[in-house]
């Protein structure tokens, strides 16, 4: 019996209730996907509608959308392929009032997740926080494949994707269950990371050659450095490694279903969710314009999507939105950019009270003092990478208060200064009074 045709009904798992099998026999898979089945969720129209709503929000309140993401005319919507076992309650697409700014869009998504399922939503947020914090701080120097995959698994968002799968099925796992599941799904995570590197390399390498970067976060590139291989040979090494992990997952999954599934059907469903997620990612990588020579299509050509646009009222781009180029990148690229912005924060943003104290001392001694030593602790603190927790909290609150963006920016800046002051150890009442007066003037 093939791994993809295990009798799952004995564990209460029936994918046919929520999805149908997609025929992929005519597609060249480069050798990937043997033993895997591709399914499409029966509510694929809901994922199309949700994608279109999100797209309209982005166009109106953030900027132009250059590429039609998350959907392919050939294989369909990525979410309907990647989560074929999602329960109906998790696929509801509701039209809600749009809000301004990318950060607030994130807050809106978060609030809708928590409103749909509080427990599973919290679990998903925890996975997101772990992914972001790791990709910001992790070194990009790797000595071998194991070191690289340890990072890449987080960089590609496998933990977060697992949270999405659990949310879709309405399942929350304990810490112990997560540990058990990891022993099985770690192979598919590694396969997914290498699969993505294999198909994305050509695009990423072109961008690398046009940049000032000294290294490329891609297994193909790393093998050219580790073993002095040419690119084509390195790609073949990565392909074979990915195939090994693909088959290892099938073996580990089958063993788990035979020996443990009857004791924990929730874990069995979660692991089965990753089986179909692997299939979906393969077909997506084979087709998506991002990794292939076909020029990206900014608008969908599928009639069903056009019909959705007409029903929703495809919102045009506001006149006040700048025509900015929205380039897509890996989580590590975004994290590195975020870190760079944090490091470039000017010292001129130092607290007015600190500058005033320095000037008064200089006038008293009739000489100009160097402020370097005085401001060094402050500059160090503001240069550290931030997870944006305080800013995200302010954005979430602003869903109700609707404070104009200029004032919202000032509130966030005040929050940063108060946080920095607490770290610097401002404990005396007189110091806090000075800081308060400075912020009032601000």
- Structural domains in the chain (count): 2
In degrees and rounded to multiples of 5, residue 89 shows phi and psi of -60, -25
Residue 175 located in a structural domain: yes
Whole-number Å distance between alpha carbons of 420 and 416:
6
| C-alpha span between 219 and 338 (Å, rounded) | 23
Look at residue 11 and tell me if it is in a domain: no
Note whether 359 and 296 are same-domain residues. Answer: no
Query: Are 11 and 262 a contacting pair, CB within 8 Å?
Result: yes
Q: Of 312, 328, 359, which residue sits at a domain end?
A: 312
The alpha-carbon radius of gyration of the chain (Å, integer) is 25
Domain membership of residue 332 (yes or no) is no
| Domain end (from 312, 335, 361) | 312
What ranges in 71-144 are assigned the alpha helix state H? 78-82, 102-116, 118-137
Residues 120 and 53 in one domain: yes
Whole-prediction pTM value? 0.58
User: How far is Cα 424 from Cα 416, in angstroms, rounded to an integer?
Assistant: 12
125-152 pLDDT, tens digit per residue, is 676 666 666 555 556 789 999 999 998 9
Residues 73, 69, 21, CA angle at the centre, nearest 5°? 45
At 234 the three-state DSSP class reads helix
3-state secondary structure of 369: coil
Q: What is the CATH number of the domain that holds 296?
A: 1.10.600.10
Residue 320 lies in a domain: no
Same domain, 308 and 391: no
Residue 331 maps to a domain: no
Q: Are both 250 and 363 inside the same structural domain?
A: no
Partners of residue 20 on adjacent β-strands:
40
Instruction: Identify the band that residue 426 occupies on the pLDDT scale cut at 50, 70 and 90.
Output: low
Residue 152 makes CB contacts below 8 A (sequence gap 6+) with 193, 197, 217, 219
pLDDT in tens, 332-346: 443 344 333 433 433
Q: What one-character DSSP code corresponds to residue 104?
A: H
Residue 325 inside a domain? The answer is: no
Helix (H) or strand (E) holding 327: none
Q: Is residue 350 part of a domain?
A: yes
Residue pair 73/302 in contact by the 8 Å Cβ criterion: yes
Q: How far apart are the first and last CA of the chain?
A: 71
Which residues are bridge partners to 40 per DSSP? 20
**Which of 289, 312, 335 is a domain's end point?**
312
* Shared domain check, 257 and 108: yes
Side-chain half-sphere CA neighbours of 164 within 13 A: 16
Tokens of 188: 């598919």
Identify whether residues 365 and 417 lie together within a single domain. Answer: yes
DSSP state of 67: S
Q: Which domain holds residue 277?
A: 18-312
Are residues 193 and 54 located together in one domain of the fold?
Answer: yes
Reported as a single tens digit per residue, the pLDDT across 255-267 is 998 887 677 888 9
pLDDT exceeds cutoff 80 at 384: no
Same domain, yes or no: 308 and 362: no
What rounded mean pLDDT belongs to the chain? 71
pLDDT of residue 188: 96
Mean pLDDT computed over 92-106: 49
Q: Quick one: 285 and 389 in the same domain?
A: no
| Same structural domain, 201 and 299 | yes
Render 172-196 in DSSP notation, one character per residue. Answer: ---HHHHHHHHHHHHHHHHHHHHHH
Say yes or no: 360 and 303 in one domain.
no
Q: Which residue has the higher pLDDT, 120 or 188?
A: 188
Summarised one tens digit per residue, pLDDT across range 194-206 is 999 999 999 999 9
The per-residue pLDDT for range 205-243, each reduced to its tens digit, is 999 999 988 889 999 999 999 999 999 999 999 999 999
Cα dihedral 53→55→58→59 (10° resolution): -110
Most confident of 11-20, 222-231, 274-283: 222-231
Looking at per-residue pLDDT, the higher value among 40 and 441 belongs to 40
Supply the angle between the helices 158-169 and 118-137 in degrees, to the nearest 10: 170
pLDDT at 394 over 80: no
Q: Going by DSSP bridges, is the β-strand pair 71-72/76-77 parallel, antiparallel, or unpaired?
A: antiparallel
Q: Rounded CA gap, 8 and 299, in Å?
A: 39
> What stretch of H or E contains 292?
none
Q: Which residues contact 264 (CB under 8 A, 6 or more apart)?
A: 177, 180
Token pair of 166 as six digits:
């659990």
Are 166 and 235 within one domain?
yes
In angstroms, what CA-CA distances link 226 with 8, 18, 190, 234? 43, 45, 19, 10
Is 333 inside a domain boundary?
no
Q: Which residue in 276, 273, 271 sits closest to 256, CA to CA?
A: 271
């Amino acid at each position: 019996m093939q791994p993809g045709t295990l009798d799952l009904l004995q564990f209460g798992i029936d994918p046919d209730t929520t999805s149908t099998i997609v025929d992929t026999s005519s597609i060249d898979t480069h050798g990937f996907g043997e033993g895997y089945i591709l399914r499409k969720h029966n509510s694929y129209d809901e994922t199309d509608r949700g994608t279109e709503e999100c797209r309209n929000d982005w166009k109106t309140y953030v900027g132009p959308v250059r590429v039609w993401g998350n959907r392919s005319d050939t294989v369909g919507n990525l979410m309907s392929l990647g989560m074929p076992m999602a329960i109906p309650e998790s696929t509801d697409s509701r039209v809600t009032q749009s809000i301004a700014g990318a950060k607030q869009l994130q807050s809106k998504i978060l609030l809708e997740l928590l409103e749909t399922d509080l427990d599973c939503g919290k679990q998903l947020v925890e996975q997101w926080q772990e992914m972001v914090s790791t990709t910001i701080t992790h070194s990009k120097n790797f000595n071998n494949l194991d070191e690289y995959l340890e990072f890449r698994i987080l960089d590609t968002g496998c933990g977060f994707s697992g949270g999405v799968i659990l949310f879709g099925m309405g399942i929350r796992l304990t810490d112990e269950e997560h540990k058990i599941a990891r022993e099985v799904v770690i192979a598919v995570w590694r396969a997914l990371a290498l699969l993505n590197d294999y198909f994305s390399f050509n695009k990423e390498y072109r961008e690398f050659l046009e940049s000032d970067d000294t290294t490329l976060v891609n297994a193909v590139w790393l093998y050219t450095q580790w073993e002095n291989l040419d690119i084509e040979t390195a790609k073949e090494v990565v392909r074979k490694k990915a195939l090994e992990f693909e088959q290892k997952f099938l073996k580990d999954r089958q063993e788990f279903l035979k020996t443990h599934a009857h004791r924990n059907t929730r874990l069995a469903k979660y692991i089965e969710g990753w089986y179909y997620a692997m299939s979906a990612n393969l077909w997506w990588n084979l087709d998506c314009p991002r990794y292939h020579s076909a020029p990206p299509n900014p608008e969908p050509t599928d009639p069903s999507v056009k019909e959705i646009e007409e029903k929703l009222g495809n919102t045009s781009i506001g006149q006040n939105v700048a025509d900015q180029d929205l380039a897509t990148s890996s989580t590590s690229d975004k994290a590195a950019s975020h870190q760079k912005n944090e490091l470039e924060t000017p010292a001129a943003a130092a607290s007015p009270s600190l500058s005033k104290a320095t000037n008064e001392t200089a006038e008293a001694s009739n000489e100009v003092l160097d402020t370097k030593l005085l401001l060094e602790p402050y500059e160090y603190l503001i240069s550290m990478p931030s997870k944006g927790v305080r800013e995200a909290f302010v954005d979430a609150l602003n869903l109700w208060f609707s404070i104009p963006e200029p004032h919202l920016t000032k509130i966030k800046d005040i929050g940063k200064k108060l946080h920095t002051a607490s770290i610097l150890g401002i404990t005396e009442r007189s110091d806090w009074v000075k800081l308060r007066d400075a912020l009032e003037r601000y």
